[in-house]
Structures are given as structure tokens and as C-alpha cells.
């Protein structure tokens, strides 16, 4: 029969038991570290998500405020344009009904330092430059040209207000 070296078997058993114990201890330690790292990573991701959501909300609020200012500016522009069109329509109507006549200055007259018209007019007493009334058709064309100019100026003011609003975003 073969003699079993009990010292060797005991030592081998102790080494294997120590290795298994060390393996189990390392497993516990690394599992705890990995769990802590995963929790820390999750917390960091949650914080980043909250910061991102807050930044997105702030940008949405800024955009909404800008849209509201632009809507108010557009409403103001539309009101100015409507008022200008009404004024021009009223002026055209007054010119068409001969309620109003346009005139131009022909020359500057001087009679001893006081300008007096060369001929007496039936419309009233006007001292100053000699004037000639324009034909109603020409008056209508002049009013149409000024109407287009007014609309252009109002549109330009609206564009400038839009650019100012876009350029001064907080």
C-alpha cells in the first residue's frame, strides 16, 4: 500500500482553502466596488440629464419669449400698415370728390418784402408763393406713389425691428 503523506495533503488542503477564501474575499470586495461605481455612474448620468433638461427648458423659454415679442412686433406692423392704407384711401377719396386739391409752388413772388399772389383766387386769401392746383388724376398717381413709399417704409421698420429682436436675444 502507498503511504499517504498527510502533511502534504494537509498543506495542500490549507493552500486550496486559502486560495478559495482569497478568491471569495476578492469577489466580495470587487462586487462592492463595482456596485459603488455603477451607482456613482448612474448618479452622474442623472445629474447630467437634469442639467440638460434645465438647459433645454431655458432655451425653450427664451424661444417662446422671442416668438411673443416678434408676434407683438408683427401685430404692431400690421396695425401701422392698416392705418396707413386707411389714411391713403381717405386721401384718395377726398381727392376724387374734389374735397381736397393738391397744389405745387410755381414761383416766389415778392412785393416789398411781403409775398402777395399775382391774381386773386376764389378759394381764400393766401399770402406767399404762387401755387397751381394739380389735375385730380395726377394727384391720384402721386398719392399712389406715396402709398407705396409708406408701405415700404413700414415694411423696412418691421424688418429692422425683427433684426433688432433677433440680434438682442438674451
Predicted confidence at residue 105, as pLDDT, reads 81
Domain that holds residue 157: 6-167
Q: Which residue, 87, 90, 108, 110, is CA-closest to 99?
A: 90
Instruction: Give dist(CA 77, CA 126) in Å, integer.
Output: 39
What pLDDT, on the 0 to 100 scale, is given for residue 38? Answer: 94
Into how many domains does the chain fold? 1
111 beta partners: 114
Q: Is residue 1 part of a domain?
A: no
Q: Taking the alpha carbons of 123, 126, 130, 134 in that order, is the dihedral positive or negative?
A: negative
Query: Digits of tens for pLDDT over the chain (170 positions)?
Result: 677 787 888 888 888 888 888 888 888 888 988 999 999 999 999 999 999 999 999 999 999 998 998 899 899 999 998 998 898 888 888 887 777 777 778 876 544 444 555 555 555 555 667 878 878 788 888 888 888 888 899 889 989 988 988 887 55
What is the model's pLDDT at position 55? 96
For residue 30, tell me if it sits in a domain: yes
End-to-end C-alpha distance for the chain, whole angstroms: 96
Q: Within a domain: residue 145?
A: yes
Is 99 domain-assigned?
Answer: yes
| Whole-model pTM over 0.75 | no
Amino acid at each position: 500500500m502507498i503511504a499517504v503523506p498527510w502533511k502534504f495533503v494537509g498543506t495542500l488542503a490549507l493552500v486550496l482553502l486559502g486560495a478559495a477564501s482569497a478568491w471569495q474575499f476578492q469577489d466580495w470586495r470587487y462586487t462592492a466596488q463595482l456596485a459603488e461605481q455603477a451607482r456613482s455612474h448612474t448618479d452622474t448620468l442623472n445629474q447630467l440629464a437634469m442639467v440638460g433638461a434645465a438647459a433645454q427648458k431655458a432655451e425653450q423659454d427664451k424661444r417662446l419669449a422671442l416668438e411673443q415679442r416678434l408676434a407683438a412686433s408683427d401685430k404692431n406692423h400690421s396695425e401701422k400698415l392698416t392705418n396707413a392704407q386707411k389714411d391713403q384711401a381717405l386721401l384718395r377719396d377726398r381727392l376724387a370728390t374734389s374735397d381736397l386739391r393738391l397744389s405745387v409752388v410755381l414761383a416766389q413772388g415778392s412785393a416789398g418784402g411781403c409775398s402777395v399772389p399775382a391774381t386773386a383766387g376764389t378759394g381764400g386769401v393766401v399770402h406767399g408763393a404762387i401755387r397751381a392746383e394739380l389735375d385730380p388724376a395726377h394727384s391720384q398717381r402721386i398719392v399712389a406713389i406715396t402709398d407705396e413709399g409708406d408701405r415700404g417704409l413700414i415694411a423696412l421698420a418691421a424688418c429692422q425691428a425683427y433684426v433688432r429682436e433677433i440680434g438682442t436675444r438674451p
